[in-house]
Amino acid sequence: MAKENVLIVEDDRDIGELLDYNLSKEGFRTTCITKGEEAIKLAKLKPFDICLLDLMLPDIDGLEVCRALKGDSKTAEMPIIMVTAKGEESDIVVGLEMGADDYLTKPFSPKVLIARIKTVLKRKKQVPPDQSAPIIIGDICIHPGRHEVTIKGKPIDLTFTEFQLLRFLAAKPGWVFTRYQIVDAIKGEDYAVTDRSVDVQIVGLRKKMGDYGRLIETIRGVGYRFSDKDFEATD
What is the number of domains present in the chain? 2
Q: Does the pLDDT of residue 34 top 90, yes or no?
A: yes
Q: Are residues 15 and 113 in the same domain?
A: yes
The pLDDT score that the predictor gives to residue 29 is: 94
Q: Are residues 15 and 99 in the same domain?
A: yes
Reported as a single tens digit per residue, the pLDDT across 126-167 is 655 456 678 999 899 999 878 899 999 999 999 888 898 999
Strand ranges, E, within the chain: 5-9, 29-33, 50-53, 80-84, 102-105, 135-137, 140-143, 148-151, 154-156, 176-178, 216-219, 223-226
Number of neighbours of residue 64 by Cβ within 10 angstroms:
16
The residue among 160 and 8 whose pLDDT is bigger is 8
Q: How many CB atoms lie within 10 A of CB 227?
A: 16
- Find out whether 70 and 160 touch, Cβ atoms under 8 Å: yes
Range with lowest mean pLDDT among 39-43, 54-58, 70-74, 184-188? 184-188
Same domain, 98 and 142: no
- Window from 21-35, 84-98, 127-141, 179-193 with minimum mean pLDDT: 179-193
Which of 92, 125, 158 is the last residue before a domain boundary? Answer: 125
Claim to verify: residue 194 and residue 179 sit in the same structural domain: yes
Compute the distance between CA of residue 20 and CA of residue 73 in angstroms, rounded to an integer. Answer: 27
pLDDT above 90 for 71: no
Residues 90 and 158 reside in one and the same domain: no
Domain match, 173 and 98 both: no
Q: Please check whether residues 163 and 181 belong to one and the same domain.
A: yes
| Alpha-carbon gap, residue 27 to 132, rounded angstroms | 31
User: Average pLDDT of 180-203?
Assistant: 71
Residue 80 in any domain: the answer is yes
Section 102-128 average pLDDT:
81
In a domain, 233, yes or no: no
In a domain, 79, yes or no: yes
Measured from the Cβ of residue 181, the count of other Cβ atoms closer than 10 Å reads: 16
Is 226's pLDDT higher than 60? Answer: yes
Identify whether residues 80 and 140 lie together within a single domain.
no
Same domain assignment for residues 163 and 185: yes
Can you give the pLDDT at residue 129?
A: 47
- Look at residues 91, 125, 159 and tell me which one is the last residue of a structural domain: 125
User: What pLDDT is attached to residue 189?
Assistant: 43
CATH number of the CATH domain containing 169 = 1.10.10.10
- Domain range spanning residue 169? 130-226
Residues 38, 110: one domain?
yes
pLDDT of residue 177: 86
Least confident of 22-36, 130-144, 184-198, 209-223: 184-198
Same structural domain, 27 and 94? yes
Task: Based on the fold, state whether residues 86 and 181 are members of the same structural domain.
Answer: no
Given 109, 125, 141, which residue is the final one in a domain? 125
What value does the mean pLDDT of the chain take? 84
Residue 58: CATH number of its domain: 3.40.50.2300
- pLDDT value at 188 more than 80: no
Hey, what amino acid is at 208?
Answer: K
For 76, how many CA atoms within 13 A lie in the half-sphere containing its CB? 15
How high is the pLDDT of residue 195?
61
